[in-house]
Amino acid sequence: MARKISYQQAINEALAQEMRRDASVFIMGEDVAGGAGAPGENDAWGGVLGVTKGLYDQFPGRVLDTPLSEIGYVGAAVGAATCGVRPVCELMFVDFAGCCLDQILNQAAKFRYMFGGKASTPLVIRTMVGAGLRAAAQHSQMLTSLWTHIPGLKVVCPSSPYDAKGLLIQAIRDNDPVIFCEHKLLYSMQGEVPEELYTIPFGEANFLRDGKDVTLVSYGRMVNTAMDAARSLAARGIDCEVIDLRTTSPMDEDSILESVEKTGRLVVIDEANPRCSMATDISALVAQKAFGALKAPIEMVTAPHTPVPFSDALEDLYIPDAAKIEQAVLNVIEWSKR
């Protein structure tokens, strides 16, 4: 039975249901048991944005606060995963990955390859991503392409409460390390979510809207912005197909190519900086494998190649919005009329 809950609640429910189902699942991270601003008080907040609230009391000994040392607790989680348990490690902000990158890049991602497939690392790293919360340059980045570039990692970017729950359960059950990217502006988003356990397979994109004129491809929060643009363009007689990648590694290349073969036009939306981004990777894929189908040059709608600004006005300009997507769509439509 489905009911409407928030993205935040969907993640909390996925964690609780998997911990109830599998005693090897546990949570560790900064403030996940106590809470920011409440030292010594167990389950006061449940993480900086309350995602793990209530789990400390439900699962004694399995929700562990850690020291403020990302390299330490992520390393401990990697070690635990190789010993047969399933840690869900919260990296409070993705920006803190610089403090523990060796544990992810050179350890967790490589063990299966280094040991001839005989070792697995069933680790989930949940982390907040994205701009829009006035958190400035060091708490607002979108590093999806960095993770996607690393062989051995799976990278998940849910855009809705339904996807957040199903993809997180799938991530916890996976035997490889998963980076689970939660956009901080989606935590309050409401959506229909089944009460029961369910999974969403990795590497299968979701077609949110069928269309014949232009293909829009994105992931995470930008999927919802793309849908806003598609609805606005529909009122002007332009029919957009919207693809939610769900996971960037593995990435559903076939769905992207099939859609472009149909529409002949592609706009890729990515909140990240443009250089070496998911937007450029998807553009290269289509240019290489579906060039003959293109009726116009590919358009990319991304953030500029700068850090996220602190100024409210500048941050609003930094983040791709529906108006920028609409203009990109109009550009490819006009080009093909030449």
**Per-residue model confidence as pLDDT tens digits over 265-277:** 999 999 999 999 9
Residue 200 domain flag: no
Euclidean distance between CA atoms 143 and 323, whole angstroms: 24
Same domain for 217 and 170, yes or no, is no
Angle at 214 between CA 209 and CA 219, to 5 degrees: 55
pLDDT of 154? 99
Domains held by the chain: number: 2
Identify the burial level of 237 via C-beta atoms within 10 angstroms of its C-beta, where 0-12 means exposed, 13-18 middle and 19 or more buried: exposed
Q: How far is CA 278 from the centre of its chain?
A: 12
Give the pLDDT confidence of 187-203 residue by residue, as tens digits: 999 999 999 999 999 99
For 167, residues 6+ apart whose C-beta sits below 8 A from its C-beta are 156, 158, 180, 199, 200, 202, 246, 247
Do 151 and 267 belong together in one domain?
Answer: no
pLDDT at site 35: 58
> Which CATH number is 143's domain given?
3.40.50.970
**What is d(CA 256, CA 278) in angstroms, rounded to the nearest whole number?**
13
Tell whether omega for the bond before 201 is within 30 degrees of 0, i.e. cis: no
pLDDT in tens, 159-178: 999 999 999 999 999 999 99
pLDDT-derived band of residue 51, with 50, 70 and 90 as boundaries?
very high
Can you give the pLDDT at residue 261?
98
Q: Check if the beta carbon of residue 305 is closer than 8 Å to that of residue 273.
A: yes
The span from the CA of 326 to the CA of 321, in Å, is 9
Nearest to 336 by CA among 185, 239, 214: 214
- Domain harbouring 292, CATH code: 3.40.50.920
Tell me the residue range of the domain where 69 lies.
2-194
Region 114-132 average pLDDT: 95
Mean pLDDT of the chain: 95
What is the pLDDT at residue 109? 97
Q: What is the pLDDT of residue 102?
A: 96
Q: In this predicted structure, what is the pLDDT of residue 49?
A: 82
pLDDT tops 60 at residue 39: no
Two structure tokens written together for 164: 């957040």
Taking 70 as the threshold, does the pLDDT of residue 9 lie above it? Answer: yes
- Which residue out of 139, 149, 183, 305 is catalytically annotated? 139
305 is known as an active-site residue: no
The pTM for the full model equals: 0.96
Q: 151 and 182: one domain?
A: yes
231 and 109 housed in the same domain = no
Given pLDDT bands bounded at 50, 70 and 90, which one contains residue 312? very high
What pLDDT does 48 receive? 81
Span 286-303, pLDDT tens digits:
999 999 999 999 999 999
